[in-house]
């Protein structure tokens, strides 16, 4: 990874062989550098970032007594987003939101973001005075970065047949105080921030719009609110920091792949099982129970805390793991049912 934009000119005979955006690459680099600087200045005093874009490496300097949290996320055209469905601002927002959500799940504060962007050449060029796809991608990315005071401190740029964004997020957390998946104990209560299923319901709505439209999906203003959980999910950075400072959460994970899948991860890492009360599940208005249980990309925090910790809205509790019993039990009016992991999985 070369964390500085502009990255050094890479060796090779032609721009194309070097994997660079032959036309307009320098202009794009200059745009990213200029806009990142403006956003970073507004976003934070950026005391953690001693040196950002412009050199071979970024230099970060953390406060005493902290440890570093690092996460990476790939967003790939056709897999995580579609050029004909998703506004470029949403693609930029979601790419960063995924990484920020991982920091939130650890109770880490964001320190810096690094963005490696590969796009077909045509997406880097604006047409007839209109901003380019990459420019609008940056609009979404930098707006969320500013909200969470996360400076863009470097990255890389290349031409590619597919659009993809690879982000690295660096965060910091007081030493030994990160929220982990592994600390839940039998008897702990189970919590989730916000509501579940909204992102999947929004995606279903978007797919419905796509079916009706030939080509690019136009998103009517009246649907902006309904689609927001999918297009512009809000990572729970303040809630993660709050939980970390409170010190009473025993385990935490962010819901990126769906409750059934992410709760399974938490159970496995903590060597416990879980009961979820269907009646207490915070299902997003307009979403179905199935979407709340298995739909991914809500980016809410799922966490556990011992009974007696002052946290509202428990969903149920963690229980001892027993051979022959399901890892997650859903308590419904018709009795308990095993909840199988049916969220998002790659290579499945
Ligand atoms: Mg995660």
CA 117 from centroid of its chain's CA atoms: 16
Most trustworthy range by pLDDT among 45-49, 97-101, 157-161, 294-298: 97-101
pLDDT at 315: 56
| Ligand 1 centre distance from Cα of residue 101 (Å) | 7
Quote the percentage of the chain above a pLDDT of 90: 62
Burial of 221 (0-12, 13-18, 19+ CB in 10 A): exposed
Centre of ligand 1 from the C-alpha of residue 105, in Å? 7
| Contact status, residue 106 vs residue 240, Cβ threshold 8 Å | yes
**What is the distance in A from the centroid of ligand 1 to the CA of 172?**
16
Q: What is the pLDDT of residues 159-191, one digit of tens each?
A: 999 999 999 999 999 999 999 999 999 999 999
Here the tokens at position 105 are 């799940």
Mean pLDDT, rounded, of the chain: 87
Ligand 1 centre to CA of 61 (Å) is: 25
Residue 111: count other Cβ atoms within 10 Å of its Cβ.
Answer: 27
pLDDT tens digits for range 269-317: 999 999 999 988 999 999 999 999 999 999 999 999 998 877 766 556 6
CA of 9 to the centre of ligand 1 (A): 34
Query: What pLDDT does 24 receive?
Result: 67
> How far, in Å, is the centroid of ligand 1 from the Cα of 73?
10
Tell me, in angstroms, the distance from the centre of ligand 1 to residue 72's CA.
Answer: 10
Report the C-alpha gap between 297 and 229 in whole angstroms. 8
Whether the pLDDT of residue 87 is over 70: the answer is: yes
Ligand 1 centroid from CA 256, angstroms: 6
16 contact partners, CB below 8 Å, separation of at least 6: 22, 159
Say what the pLDDT of residue 11 is: 46
Residue 205 has pLDDT above 60, yes or no: yes
Alpha carbon distance 286, 274 (integer Å): 26
pLDDT at 314: 55
Distance CA 30, CA 99 (A): 25
Question: What separation in Å is there between the alpha carbon of 335 and the centre of ligand 1?
Answer: 31
What is this structure's pTM?
A: 0.86
52, 111 in Cβ contact below 8 A? Answer: no
């Amino acid at each position: 990874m070369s964390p500085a934009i502009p990255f050094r000119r890479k060796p090779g005979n032609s721009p194309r062989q070097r994997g660079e955006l032959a036309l307009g690459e320098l202009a794009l680099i200059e745009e990213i550098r200029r806009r990142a600087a403006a956003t970073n200045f507004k976003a934070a005093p950026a005391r953690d970032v001693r040196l950002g874009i412009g050199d071979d490496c970024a230099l970060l300097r953390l406060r005493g007594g902290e440890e570093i949290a690092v996460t990476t996320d790939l967003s790939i055209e056709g897999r995580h987003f579609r050029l004909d469905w998703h506004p470029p601002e949403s693609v930029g927002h979601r790419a960063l939101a995924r990484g920020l959500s991982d920091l939130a799940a650890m109770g880490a504060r964001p320190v810096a973001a690094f963005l490696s962007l590969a796009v077909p050449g045509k997406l880097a060029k604006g047409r007839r005075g209109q901003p380019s796809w990459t420019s609008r991608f940056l609009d979404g990315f930098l707006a969320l970065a500013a909200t969470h005071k996360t400076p863009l401190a470097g990255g890389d740029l290349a031409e590619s047949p597919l659009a993809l964004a690879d982000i690295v997020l660096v965060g910091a957390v007081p030493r030994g105080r990160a929220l982990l998946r592994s600390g839940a104990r039998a008897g702990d209560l189970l919590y989730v921030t916000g509501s579940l299923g909204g992102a999947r319901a929004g995606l279903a709505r978007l797919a419905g719009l796509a079916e009706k439209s030939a080509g690019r999906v136009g998103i009517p203003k009246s649907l902006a609110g309904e689609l927001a959980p999918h297009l512009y999910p809000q990572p729970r950075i303040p809630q993660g920091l709050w939980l970390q400072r409170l010190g009473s959460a025993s385990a935490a994970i962010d819901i990126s792949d769906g409750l059934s899948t992410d709760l399974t991860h938490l159970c496995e890492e903590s060597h416990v099982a879980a009961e979820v009360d269907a009646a207490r599940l915070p299902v997003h208005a307009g979403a179905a129970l199935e979407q709340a249980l298995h739909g991914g990309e809500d980016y809410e925090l799922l966490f556990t805390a011992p009974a007696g910790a002052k946290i509202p809205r428990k969903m149920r509790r963690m229980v001892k793991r027993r051979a022959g019993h399901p890892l997650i039990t859903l308590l419904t009016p018709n009795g308990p049912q095993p909840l199988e992991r049916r969220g998002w999985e790659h290579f499945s």
